[in-house]
Amino acid sequence: MSLKRERAVICGAGGFIGGHLVKSLIAQGVDVIRGVDIKPLTEWHQVTNGVENLVLDLQDRDNCLRTATGATSIYQLAADMGGIGFIENHKALCMLSVLINTHMLMAARDKGVERFFYSSSACVYNGDKQNRPDVAALKEADAYPAMPEDGYGWEKLFSERMCRHFEEDFGLQCRVARFHNVYGPFGTWDGGREKAPAAICRKVLDAKHGGKHEIEIWGDGSQTRSFMYIDDCLKGIRMIFESDVHEPLNLGSNELVTVNQLVDMVEDIAGIKLKRSYDLSAPKGVNGRNSDNTLIMAKLGWAPSIRLRDGMEKTYNWIEGEMLAGPAR
């Protein structure tokens, strides 16, 4: 697609990734005509001037038709989601996001949109392949036979299939990325929807500034994950969007760490050592998850590469500034 003629709409523009994506696309010369989110503008993570910023519930089909009007491309990131604490305790809310995906695909078809990007998740992967901390990295084919994470994972996998069939039946060009734990500045770091990198930064900062040198960790700390810095995510979104790859691709780092190692890293950034306690009853998700980047390297000649230590330092510094400035959103 030619950047000169692309008119883009970002669904979920008030969220962490969506807010960054609006600014990134504009910096690349894309005409972002509209950003949409259900949250009041005062609660958007970032608001970009010169874009039509609309507060709409995209579970409603009429709102989706309004959103898609005049667009040649749609980036569908809107969803009711959060970290493991949220998605394990709000399965129905997570699954209701399928209404957004359904109605946005229908609106894209009806309004003549040329290309549709869908942000899926590593939560689509078969749970039997994630039982051990020393997990084998997940390949795209590992989503089947289907046994995704209950609630959120099923919604994502079903919506991937919708994208596939809208392309087959209606010619809407769909591109799908399976995000693996995206983090960075301007993300949620408090309130129950935050993910592990931000939550650990907040807990370490609370201990450092509060004088109580203790930290509570969910699970036993041996569970493993990979975490992708926002800049890698933004680059990957655009590369996948512009590609001729019609199948879902992993979009994540393959730098695997335990939760304990992530705490070690943040302690080192903060210059502090904390006494650890472990809440074995708290949500902790699967025992191990990592991204196999073989396919994205083969298709695009690129994969996320920003070191976790570098991204975490930037994230920690941003969260510290927000904490010292006042209460979280």
Q: Would you name the residues annotated as active-site residues?
A: 152
Phi first, then psi: what are they for 316, rounded to 5°?
-60, -45
Asked if residues 217 and 259 have their Cβ atoms less than 8 Å apart, the reply is yes
Query: CA distances (Å), 75 to each of 48, 183, 205, in order?
Result: 16, 19, 34
Number of residues assigned to the chain = 329
How many angstroms from the chain centroid is the CA of residue 317? Answer: 21
Whole-angstrom Cα distance, residue 94 to residue 91?
A: 5
258 contacts 314 by C-beta, under 8 angstroms: no
Strands (E), 49-187: 52-55, 73-76, 115-121, 173-179, 182-183
Provide the terminal-to-terminal Cα distance of the chain, rounded to the nearest Å.
Answer: 37
Using CA atoms, how far apart are residues 291 and 78, in angstroms rounded to an integer? 23
Task: Compute CA distances 278 → 221, 222, 283, whole Å.
Answer: 8, 11, 12
Structure tokens at 130: 């994630």
Measure the CA–CA gap between 15 and 314, rounded to whole angstroms.
19
Are 17 and 230 spatial neighbours (Cβ–Cβ below 8 Å)?
yes
d(CA 105, CA 11): 12
Q: How far is residue 25's CA from residue 17's CA, in Å, rounded to a whole number?
A: 12
